[in-house]
Amino acid sequence: MTTRTRLIVALALAGGVAAAGVAVAQTVPHKGQGGGHGAGHSQSAAKSERSASTIAFSAANEKMHRDMAIEFSGDADADFARGMIPHHQGAVDMAKIVIAFGKDPEIRALAEAVVKAQEAEIAFMREWLKKQDK
């Protein structure tokens, strides 16, 4: 599989907004900027500085944070479930990127375990919310 094909697959798995990565690539943290919570974004660095996995991770991170911005209801249980679903989905999306791009067998195995565990927890929370009519 080519790097471009893996990027398209990873972006699709991560819910990326553009398969070609053009829109996402313009907002990806570049070298020296880090990629943590609240990291600044720059459009000035050369495209060659961003790997396909970095573009995919950035798209997954941005989607997760956008989806976690829920309106709180005051019901701690429901708010927890509603906020954790996109948080867990972000973990699933990042794990799938590792599965697509990673090389270390231990990390890839961990990523596969993360997908399995987090998808089960997402299903539980969705079902709980449905049962509670929330």
Q: What is the dihedral of CA 29, 31, 35, 39, to 10 degrees?
A: -60
Total count of domains within the chain = 1
pLDDT, position 84: 98
Residue 86 CB neighbours (<10 A): 19
Number of helical H runs and strand E runs in the chain: 5, 0
At 99, which CATH number?
1.20.1260
Identify the H or E element spanning 83: helix 76-101
Crossing angle of helices 3-13 and 52-68, rounded to 10°: 10
Q: What is the pLDDT of residues 4-40, one digit of tens each?
A: 666 666 556 555 533 333 333 333 444 444 444 444 4
Burial (Cβ within 10 Å: 0-12, 13-18, ≥19) of residue 6: middle
pLDDT, position 49: 76
> Average pLDDT over the chain, rounded to whole?
79
Question: Which domain range does residue 78 map to?
Answer: 3-34+42-131
Crossing angle of helices 76-101 and 105-131, rounded to 10°: 150
pLDDT at residue 44 tops 50:
no
pLDDT at residue 120 tops 50:
yes
pLDDT at residue 1 tops 90:
no
